[in-house]
A = this chain, B = another copy of it.
Amino acid sequence: MYFEMLKGEVIMGRKPSYTESELLDITKKLVLEHGYDGFHLKLLSQHLPGARSTIYQYYANKEEIVAACMKRVISSVIEKASAIDETDTMQALQELLGIYVDESKLHQLLGDAHKINTTNSAAASRDLDVVEQGHTTLKIQLTRLFQRAQQEKNLREDIPLPVLIGGFFNLINTPNMINVPNPEWSKLLFQMWIGGAQR
């Protein structure tokens, strides 16, 4: 039948064996596991059905894959972070920490961004620009919240603000050794950061 051959009005070829999104999921996992330099297309294709060359249906080269992956991750974080209700500053900070903890590997992942050679790929370059802007966006939000917290006299003043911010952000790297679910984990971290370790 003709209609079986059509999708909408257009004649279609074979059905793709995986989606772009699946490809990026695996990429994220592998880049985190092996680092940018340890990430090979052979490795990727081993975690995906089909041949290595099929990957080139989706992206023109290795750089574009990783850049697209990073862009997607940071975009998702920004979307969630910008949805936070900032009325209560400390509450907002805690929620923000929850979001960061959910993507706790974000930092590690984006740390490899500078290794990506963008001279051969305009698309990768564009994606990394978005990543860069995303970084800035997050920094601005964080700074805004911290300044407000400071004005509201919620932060100790004998420690410089940048140190407090750095300490806060660095919380996400703390390995969750007791394996509690993320929401509780981030609450624990926040309490420790707020109240200190000492009784």
Q: Which residues of A contact B (CB under 8 A)?
A: 2, 9, 11-14, 34-38, 51, 112, 115, 153-160, 162-164, 166-168, 170-171, 173-178, 188-189, 191-199
| Copies of this chain, whole number | 4
Q: How far is the CB of A10 from chain B (nearest CB, A)?
A: 10
Give chain B residues whose Cβ lies under 8 Å from the Cβ of A154: 198-199
Nearest CB on B from A71, distance (A): 21
Given A171-B170, A188-B163, A198:B37 Cβ within 8 A: no
For A14, A153, A198, A199, the residue with the greatest tally of chain B CB atoms inside 10 Å of its CB is: A198
* Complex alpha-carbon distance, A170 and B176, angstroms: 11
Provide the residues of chain B in CB contact with A12, threshold 8 Å.
2
Which of B13, B168, B192 meets A9, CB within 8 Å? Answer: B13
> Which of B2, B9, B173 is close to A170, meaning CB atoms less than 8 Å apart?
B173
Q: A36-B35, A170-B173 in contact; A153/B199 too (CB < 8 A)?
A: yes
Given contacts A159-B197, A170-B175, A193-B196, 9 further A-B contacts (CB under 8 A): A13-B51, A35-B38, A153-B199, A156-B197, A163-B178, A164-B192, A166-B175, A166-B177, A167-B192
Determine which of B160, B197, B199 lies in contact with A168 in the assembled complex, contact meaning CB atoms within 8 Å: B197
Contact status B192-A195, CB under 8 Å = no
- What CA separation (Å) do A195 and B157 show in the bound complex? 12
Taking CB as reference atom, which chain B residue is nearest A154?
A: B198
A177–B143 alpha-carbon span in the complex (Å): 14
Please give me the residue from chain B that is nearest to A2 by CB atom: B12
Contact B174 A170 (CB under 8 A): yes
Chain B proximity of A17: nearest CB distance (Å): 12
Nearest CB of B to A174, in Å: 4
